[in-house]
Chain A
Amino acid sequence: MKRLITVVLLILACSAAATAADRDVDAVVNAIEQQYGMHHTNLPWIARAFIKPALWGTGAKLNMKLFEGQPLPASTSLQSIEEVTRKALDPSWRPFIQANSTRDHEKTVIYAKGDGKHMFLMIVAADREDTTVVKLKLDTSETRRWMDEPQEHAGHHGEARQEP
Chain B
Amino acid sequence: MKYLQAILVCIMVLVLAGAANAQQLKFPPGLDRLASKAAEVVDVTMDRQMLNFAGKFLSDRDPDDVEARKLIQNLNGIYVKSFEFDKPGEYSPADIEMFRSQLKPPVWSKMVEARSKRDGENVEVYIKTENGAAMGMAIIAAEPQELTLVNIDGPINPEQLSQLGGQFGIPKVDVQPKAQTSKGPNK
Stretch at the interface among B1-9, B34-42, B115-123, B134-142: B34-42
Contact B57 A147 (CB under 8 A): yes
Q: 4 tightest CB-CB pairs across the interface, nearest first?
A: A140-B56, A103-B39, A114-B53, A98-B43
CB pair B49–A94 under 8 Å, yes or no, is yes
Count residues of chain A with CB under 8 A from any CB of chain B.
21
Main secondary structure of the interface of B (DSSP, over half): mixed
Asked whether A103 lies within 8 Å of B42 as measured between CB atoms, the reply is: no
Q: What are the interface flags for B37-65 relative to A under an 8 Å C-beta threshold, 1 for contact and 0 otherwise?
A: 01111111111011011001111111000
Q: CB < 8 Å: which of A94, A138, A147, A148 contacts B50? A: A94
Q: Which residues of B contact A147 (CB under 8 A)?
A: 57, 59
Q: Is A7 among interface residues, defined by CB-CB distance under 8 A? A: no
Whether the Cβ atoms of A102 and B43 lie closer than 8 Å is no
Q: Using Cβ atoms and an 8 Å threshold, which residues of chain B touch A94?
A: 45, 47, 49-50
* Given A144-B58, A144-B60, A148-B60, CB of A99 within 8 Å of CB of B53: no
Interfacial chain B residues near A138, Cβ < 8 Å: 57
Using a CB–CB distance below 8 Å, which chain B residues touch chain A?
A: 35, 38-47, 49-50, 52-53, 56-62, 86
Q: For the complex, give the distance between the alpha carbons of A144 and B69 in Å.
A: 13
B176 nearest CB across to chain A (Å): 31
Nearest Cβ on chain A to B72's Cβ, whole angstroms: 14
Q: Is A30 an interface residue (CB 8 A)?
A: no
- CB atoms of A112 and B50 under 8 A apart: yes
Instruction: Please give, as numbers and ranges, the residues of chain B lying within 8 Å of A102 by CB-CB distance.
Output: 38-40
Q: Least Cβ distance of B112 to chain A in Å?
A: 27
Would you call B43 and A144 a contact (CB within 8 A)?
no
**Cβ–Cβ contact A114 & B40, under 8 A:** no
A96 to B80, CA, bound (A): 10
With an 8 A cutoff between CB atoms, is A95 at the interface?
A: yes
Kindly list 8 other residue pairs between chains A and B, CB separation below 8 angstroms, not including A101-B40, A140-B57, A144-B60: A94-B50, A97-B42, A99-B42, A99-B43, A100-B35, A100-B40, A114-B53, A148-B60
Chain B residue at minimum C-beta to C-beta distance from A140 = B56
* Residue contact B53 to A97, C-beta cutoff 8 Å: no
Given known A94-B47, A99-B42, contact A148–B56 (CB-CB < 8 A): no
Given A119-B53, A143-B57, A148-B59, are A96 and B46 neighbors across the interface (CB < 8 Å)? yes
Once the chains bind, are A96 and B58 in contact (CB under 8 Å)?
no
Residues of B within 8 A of A95 (CB): 45
Assuming the contacts A140-B57, A143-B57, A147-B57, asked whether A97 and B39 have C-beta atoms less than 8 A apart, the reply is no
Q: What is the chain B residue whose CB lies nearest that of A107?
A: B41
For B42, give the chain A residue with the smallest CB separation. A99
A/B interface sample: 10 pairs, CB < 8 A = A94-B50, A96-B50, A99-B41, A100-B40, A102-B38, A114-B50, A114-B52, A143-B57, A147-B57, A148-B59
Query: Contact partner of A144 among B42, B52, B59, CB < 8 A?
Result: B59
Nearest CB of A to B27, in Å: 12
| A97 adjacent to B60 (CB under 8 Å) | no
In the docked arrangement, what's the CA distance between A140 and B55, Å?
9
Interchain CA distance A96-B50 in the complex, whole Å? 8
Given A112-B53, A114-B53, A98:B42 Cβ within 8 A? yes
